[in-house]
Structure 1
């Protein structure tokens, strides 16, 4: 702990928070409480918080997750099982706060709503974040940050008249919802400790966004037009906005007589100061476009630093517009020690954003980065008297340093030969090669959730075992490598959010394949479709026989979509045009077409494929490991450097009536009829 404050002295020491949080709002709220000394136990499903699948990655761990979930413990519970619900109830009985941001009613359907938990713990504070609130006509609808920014009016006043509505560069509704959740929890705890009981805290992204419309509400309720898009400019005063400089951009606010005078003198523009049309801030705002164009004729001739120094000398509020990398290393930030390092025993120093709350007597906690998935499950459940029902099925509780061959006690390798339990995978190791065989030939090796998790663990093993020099993935039988995901698992989906969570789980596995330090080879016979194509694409090399067929026919079969992560992989390996062609025509590439496109390294007759695989592996095993690792690592970094947010797209596709109808049609063997809804 860097803060110099003993744990017992922190303001929230002794407060236990159970977080059931995904992505932003609840995890951000719980992080604030953890910084102030609360014990935060993060309850995750076996696949983990979807944020774990969000890049960039540090030694296989999500960099955003490591920062958003600092100072927390991770416990894996399957809340769809009776044992998982019982374990959660045991945690809640001993907790002060339950903090969640699932869809309204989801916790209640599991038997874990506030009324159920208050029976055992009447003093429990139950805090819920959601898109639209726990009641009202929109309560049941999914709501992400961009939808809240849209419906709250924030996007209508962000951007320029020419740009149209613009989303804020950060998820402001998500994060503000998190802050209000934390504030509400503190108020509810104060009420409880003063003799009251537990209560519900209900915060929505929508109302969090609306709370920022101070000026707009003032205008609307005062009978005036509520405002429009003015870019970086103030809604009613000028100059108060970004201004172009010779080498960048700078902001300045000169809205009082004194600062307007200093502003003009710093620019050596007495003509502006003498112009009666600009006498007051309101006058200047009325002529803002003309005024700013005139001002920028001067500022564009000076550097940002020169302008800041000149205005500062004349008492004018101003600041340069910095890129994130500049902001994070700005002297004002570093001198105040805002950025700090959380020590991880395997990753080393993990840089963290500080807490903006600077308490002189009890400074914020500075302890650990985000935990490994399930790292504290056993210890926490024993402490609370609950049964650990996830043993053997949760994510690894430790992590090794890559390229060093170190392993942790919790990473237990499968048997040297044989099937991984309950996963329909066969994992075997021989002569430095770890081979994973997808073993559902009667279902064309369609992937179940258990198979995806088993594949993830096999990748972990590949990196943990210093004897493994290459990883090979193949399908059992001659009909398919992998013919997509098992569509029966989609039958339980009730909303687009289920699709977002599903794609995040798949991305976690696909990224783990790509992250394996040693070369990876996909051996393809027959169909390589959908999720199977994603798996093969994540490998470094693809070897195929003449029967191989590659495609993503979801436009014809399911009506859902790929994640941005998978699209990015296909773009890099196959090319944007060929990827779009595959998706729009829902057609297949045969083996020779795939080779011609550079997607497949070699195509052989079926009887010759194993010889080609053996020859490729011999060459790999004889070459410099560091050189091969460096090529893989830089390729991976280039691909992941600009992945867009895809949550709204995935949610719309998986939440569509077409997708639901297609899943039903699959179960009956009929052909779906597309409606576009």
Structure 2
């Protein structure tokens, strides 16, 4: 049980008998209750499951389709591997009692309800931490747990717009543009996972849990990074720059004889190498291009001169030439080509798994390599309620009691 007497993570070594094993040894013995749906919450919990935590996905009975897509869909499959599934209808007393018992044994609970929902259900941090003071409770919302916009429904694209990202994405003058992935959702999930790990580390010394909070809006604003710093510190409000980097010139997309490529020239040292690689040492002497500031002012002219050269040879030729010179350059792949790239294959980013619904398939593996405790996809997403009887038995319920709960629709 996660209580105030715990002082270090070694106390988590006794995982439940039915816990999944094999994903990783890094978080083995950590019990996580997953109340999340859609993307930001599952992204957070996936980080814990992939590193070996015993994650119990708490679902509504007979719920065959998640908010955001069916269980057999590639999105659901990629988000929910390495978990066990327990179905509970928290509106029924027997199910609520079982959940509260489970919560008393949990190290971590993750939820992404709208702020008022957990309080209405009686499963908020203040309530659950009374019987489990070591509990780490993570909440992900659209805009925060309180404040003037807290009750708004959250959605990734809304956060991209409110958080400023759409104002700096896309071609100048073409209007706001979202990015091609749900970056606010994903980053909120990753920040929540980071917050959980921070809280777990702090619990080693204090013996106490805490409430970890983040939101799509907070994540998106933080991810503005240097663009936000330009506003806060310099008073400069950036706009859209298309494929051009807003401060490092020349950095952008250039047409070649057989397609397009990226070139990234940052700083004067690489600029000198770039001039030599392009057989244009005269650019160094051209007053329009002599400094980063002057290159920014004359970016369109410089880009036109560069592209007049790059159109004369295939992408592969230019990448080899620039790489040899120490100038960053790369292909622009579609996503199928990404997974055909030799380096991506070498890094094992596509990992095989045998899905209940899809059979033999592949999922995206963790982007972090660990020398002793690597992560693998040890189990596919569970069937709804696949582990209900097992988990309830771990809580001390008899077969008769479990059958009665099922008959009552509580599980």
TM-score (norm 2): 0.88
Q: CA–CA distance in 2 between the matches of 1:92 and 1:394?
A: 17
Q: CA–CA distance in 2 between the matches of 1:65 and 1:95?
A: 24
- Which residue is 1:105 aligned to? 116
Residues 78 and 390, structure 1, Cα contact 8 Å, conserved in 2: no
- Which residue is 1:281 aligned to? 292
Residues 23 and 50, structure 1, Cα contact 8 Å, conserved in 2: no
Q: CA–CA distance in 2 between the matches of 1:49 and 1:226?
A: 47
- Which residue is 2:204 aligned to? 193
Q: Are 1:374 and 2:385 matched, yes or no?
A: yes
The 3 A distance-change label for structure 1 pair 278 and 49 is farther
- Which residue is 2:371 aligned to? 360
Q: Where does the alignment leave 5 or more consecutive residues of structure 2 unmatched?
A: 1-20
- Which residue is 2:80 aligned to? 69
Residues 241 and 253, structure 1, Cα contact 8 Å, conserved in 2: yes
Residues 82 and 381, structure 2, Cα contact 8 Å, conserved in 1: yes
- Which residue is 2:30 aligned to? 15
- Which deviates more, 293-302 or 233-242? 293-302
- Which residue is 1:343 aligned to? 354
Give, in angstroms, the shift of residue 319 of structure 1: 1.1
- Which residue is 2:250 aligned to? 239
- Which residue is 2:99 aligned to? 88
Residues 339 and 353, structure 1, Cα contact 8 Å, conserved in 2: yes
- Secondary structure at 2:206 match in 1: coil
Query: Superposed, which structure 2 residues align to 1:298-447 within 5 Å?
Result: 298-344=309-355, 347-385=358-396, 388=402, 389-390=405-406
Q: CA–CA distance in 2 between the matches of 1:305 and 1:110?
A: 58
Among 162, 165, 171, the alignment partner of 2:176 is: 165
- Secondary structure at 2:34 match in 1: strand
Residues 156 and 228, structure 1, Cα contact 8 Å, conserved in 2: yes
Give, in angstroms, the shift of residue 16 of structure 1: 0.4
Q: CA–CA distance in 2 between the matches of 1:349 and 1:377?
A: 25
- Which residue is 1:204 aligned to? 215
Q: Are 1:25 and 2:36 matched, yes or no?
A: no
- Which residue is 2:5 aligned to? none
The 3 A distance-change label for structure 1 pair 51 and 329 is farther
- Which residue is 2:59 aligned to? 44
- Which deviates more, 240-249 or 42-51? 42-51
Q: CA–CA distance in 2 between the matches of 1:278 and 1:189?
A: 51
Q: CA–CA distance in 1 between the matches of 2:23 and 2:319?
A: 45
Give, in angstroms, the shift of residue 9 of structure 1: 6.9
Q: CA–CA distance in 1 between the matches of 2:108 and 2:54?
A: 10
Residues 242 and 252, structure 1, Cα contact 8 Å, conserved in 2: yes
- Secondary structure at 1:188 match in 2: helix
Q: CA–CA distance in 2 between the matches of 1:225 and 1:8?
A: 46
Q: Are 1:175 and 2:190 matched, yes or no?
A: no
Q: CA–CA distance in 2 between the matches of 1:374 and 1:394?
A: 11
Q: CA–CA distance in 1 between the matches of 2:410 and 2:73?
A: 17
Q: CA–CA distance in 1 between the matches of 2:234 and 2:206?
A: 44
Q: CA–CA distance in 2 between the matches of 1:226 and 1:376?
A: 52
TM-superposition CA deviations, 1:101-158 (whole Å, max 9, x none): 1111211100111111112211111100010011111111101111111111111111
Among 230, 233, 242, the alignment partner of 1:222 is: 233
- Which residue is 1:265 aligned to? 276
The 3 A distance-change label for structure 1 pair 9 and 338 is closer
Residues 77 and 390, structure 1, Cα contact 8 Å, conserved in 2: no
Q: CA–CA distance in 2 between the matches of 1:202 and 1:354?
A: 26
Q: CA–CA distance in 1 between the matches of 2:329 and 2:159?
A: 31
Q: CA–CA distance in 2 between the matches of 1:101 and 1:240?
A: 38
TM-superposition CA deviations, 1:21-42 (whole Å, max 9, x none): 1111111111101111101101
The 3 A distance-change label for structure 1 pair 269 and 12 is same
TM-superposition CA deviations, 1:70-118 (whole Å, max 9, x none): 1011111112322322221121111100001111121110011111111
Residues 340 and 354, structure 1, Cα contact 8 Å, conserved in 2: yes
- Which residue is 2:131 aligned to? 120
Residues 21 and 49, structure 1, Cα contact 8 Å, conserved in 2: no
Residues 33 and 55, structure 2, Cα contact 8 Å, conserved in 1: yes
Q: How many matched pairs?
A: 386
TM-superposition CA deviations, 1:340-373 (whole Å, max 9, x none): 1123467443212111121111111330121112
Give, in angstroms, the shift of residue 288 of structure 1: 1.2
Q: CA–CA distance in 2 between the matches of 1:333 and 1:269?
A: 34
- Secondary structure at 2:223 match in 1: coil
TM-superposition CA deviations, 1:519-544 (whole Å, max 9, x none): xxxxxxxxxxxxxxxxxxxxxxxxxx
Query: Superposed, which structure 2 residues align to 1:545-624 within 5 Å?
Result: none
- RMSD, aligned CA: 2.2
- Secondary structure at 1:84 match in 2: helix
Give, in angstroms, the shift of residue 271 of structure 1: 4.0
The 3 A distance-change label for structure 1 pair 393 and 298 is farther
TM-superposition CA deviations, 1:185-240 (whole Å, max 9, x none): 11111112223311100011101011112222222222332211111222222011
The 3 A distance-change label for structure 1 pair 357 and 8 is closer
Q: Where does the alignment leave 5 or more consecutive residues of structure 1 unmatched?
A: 1-5, 396-677
Give, in angstroms, the shift of residue 52 of structure 1: 7.1
Residues 76 and 390, structure 1, Cα contact 8 Å, conserved in 2: no
Q: CA–CA distance in 2 between the matches of 1:137 and 1:332?
A: 47
- Which residue is 2:167 aligned to? 156
The 3 A distance-change label for structure 1 pair 394 and 280 is farther
- Secondary structure at 1:61 match in 2: coil
